[in-house]
């Protein structure tokens, strides 16, 4: 895998031959340029199967800043960091407002569905089915918020 600070490794033209750039330095590996195919047809074995992929060569090896090896993320790429979601905070938010914890975890549609179900159940209290709905949506909201935060953290390799 190449770092985002260097051009990708590959074969680049140098005069009448190709030279290999390994992503950090020029190597001593060279190849002749592939001869043009007759009548513009692809080479045998597919489109350029035996011919190396040619890319535009950088004029000089790039002079990009180097970051310390012990740096967790380069300062030039702060957007690569992902904040952890707190399962406890999501559960607490859903304790007071059903569905809010799911919304905080980025599952807005599911959170709105839980909140709407809770509100509809509140109005159905008069026929006693609302008590079951209120309790079900309230508990479902808390459990889903807690597990949703854990799923988010597991997806990004964060222990929670």
| Greater pLDDT, 47 or 6 | 6
Q: Per the confidence metrics, is the pTM higher than 0.75?
A: no
Q: How far apart are the first and last CA of the chain?
A: 29
Answer yes or no: are the C-beta atoms of 50 and 39 closer than 8 Å: no
| Token pair listed for 67 | 């970051």
Report whether pLDDT(100) > 90. yes
Overall average pLDDT of the 93-108 stretch: 95
Contacting residues for 16 by C-beta, under 8 A, at least 6 apart: 32, 33
């Amino acid at each position: 895998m190449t770092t985002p600070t260097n051009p990708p490794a590959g074969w680049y033209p140098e005069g009448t031959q190709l030279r290999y750039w390994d992503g950090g330095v020029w190597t001593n590996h060279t190849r002749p340029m592939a001869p043009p195919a007759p009548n513009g047809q692809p080479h045998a074995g597919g489109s350029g199967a035996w011919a190396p992929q040619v890319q535009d060569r950088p004029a000089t090896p790039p002079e990009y800043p180097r970051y310390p090896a012990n740096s967790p993320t380069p300062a030039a790429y702060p957007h690569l960091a992902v904040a952890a979601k707190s399962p406890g905070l999501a559960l607490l938010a859903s304790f007071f407002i059903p569905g809010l914890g799911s919304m905080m975890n980025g599952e807005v549609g599911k959170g709105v569905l839980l909140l709407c179900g809770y509100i509809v159940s509140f109005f159905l209290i008069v026929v006693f089915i609302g008590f079951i709905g209120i309790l079900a949506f309230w508990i479902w909201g808390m459990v889903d918020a807690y597990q949703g935060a854990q799923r988010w953290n597991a997806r990004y390799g964060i222990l929670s």
